[in-house]
Amino acid sequence: MPKLSVITIVYNNVRDIERTIKSVVNQSYKKIEYIIIDGKSTDGTFEVVQQYKNHITKIISEPDRGIYDAMNKGLKLATGDYILFMNSGDEIYDEHTVEEVFETSPGADIYYGETEMYSDDWKSLGRRRHEAPEEFDWTSFKYGMNISHQAIYVRKNIISPFNLNYKYSSDIDWIIKAAKKASNIVNTHRYVAKYLIGGMSKKKHLASLKERFTIFTKYYGLLPNIFNHFVIAVNIIFYFMRHRKTND
């Protein structure tokens, strides 16, 4: 039974933080270390967190230099065999998810699964457009980020800190670096996370896309990356055409 460190980053999100906390503390898998990094919230978020302090291993509430700085703080505190980031507003899919993830194939370097998207009023929007690939390695992001960080469990000894030079897409860089070191990556073939749309990468969409292009160029090369983005654009067009036809 490996120990899992679940890390939640939050700042002024009193509306959603309790959902996230409950999805972690109600897991049937009990070997979980839960860490919450609060950016010194002023809207009552910290007070909600404190209500669950007996179920939370470590709570930090202090200013930070952005989401990835806060996530690095969580990594420094984590003592588990695996790391999972479940930030405020998102949820572990159901109460048996963690237990079933580790039962899939013991000893993997990375476990991953599918993500269900939810609207701002917490209504299901179905699976992400980029569905999780049948097999995953460090080259799998070349046509888009098909695994979200909420849906990937990474062995702690293959991870690196988040690169703070990236403000919106450092999680992509982080996953690719870990995947390059992984020798055994397991698809759980199940939904593992619920994702609340509208995070920082959506609010700063253009800046996020520019960072993603830079990251993908670093790993895949400029010319292949340009070609891959052409493929992405074509796939998006066909996706929305199919979606529109279905709605009609």
- 100-148 pLDDT, tens digit each: 999 999 999 999 999 999 999 999 998 876 788 899 999 999 877 889 8
Please state the pTM of the whole predicted model. Answer: 0.88
Confirm whether 131 is domain-assigned: yes
Confirm whether 120 is domain-assigned: yes
Q: What is the mean pLDDT of the chain?
A: 90
- 28-43 pLDDT, tens digit each: 999 999 999 999 999 9
Confirm whether 64 is domain-assigned: yes
Please give the torsion angle defined by the CA atoms of residues 98, 156, 174 and 39, in that order, rounded to the nearest 10 degrees: 80
Q: Residue 99's domain is classified under what CATH number?
A: 3.90.550.10
**Residue numbers of the domain that contains 42:** 4-204
Residue 226 pLDDT: 82
Confirm whether 141 is domain-assigned: yes
Report d(CA 161, CA 174) in Å as an integer. 8
- 57-93 pLDDT, tens digit each: 999 999 999 999 999 999 999 999 999 999 999 999 9
The percent of residues in the chain predicted with pLDDT above 90, rounded, is 76
Measuring CA to CA, which residue among 113, 110, 82 is closest to residue 184? Answer: 110
Confirm whether 238 is domain-assigned: no
Provide φ and ψ at 124, rounded to 5°.
-65, 135
Q: Determine if residue 24 is left, alpha or beta; phi over 0 gives left, psi from -120 to 50 gives alpha, anything else beta.
A: alpha
Kindly give, in sequence order, each residue whose CB lies less than 8 Å from that of residue 169, ignoring residues fewer than 6 positions away.
201, 208, 211, 212, 215
Please give the C-alpha separations between residue 85 and each of 22, 66, 121, 136, 240, in angstroms, as whole numbers. 15, 15, 22, 19, 30
Residue 203 pLDDT: 60
Reported residue count of the chain is: 248
Give residue 8's identity as a one-letter amino acid code: T
Residue 233 pLDDT: 61
Structural element, H or E, at residue 102: helix 97-104
Confirm whether 225 is domain-assigned: no
Confirm whether 237 is domain-assigned: no
Total domains present in the chain: 1
Confirm whether 224 is domain-assigned: no
Question: By the 8 A CB rule, do 85 and 7 touch?
Answer: yes
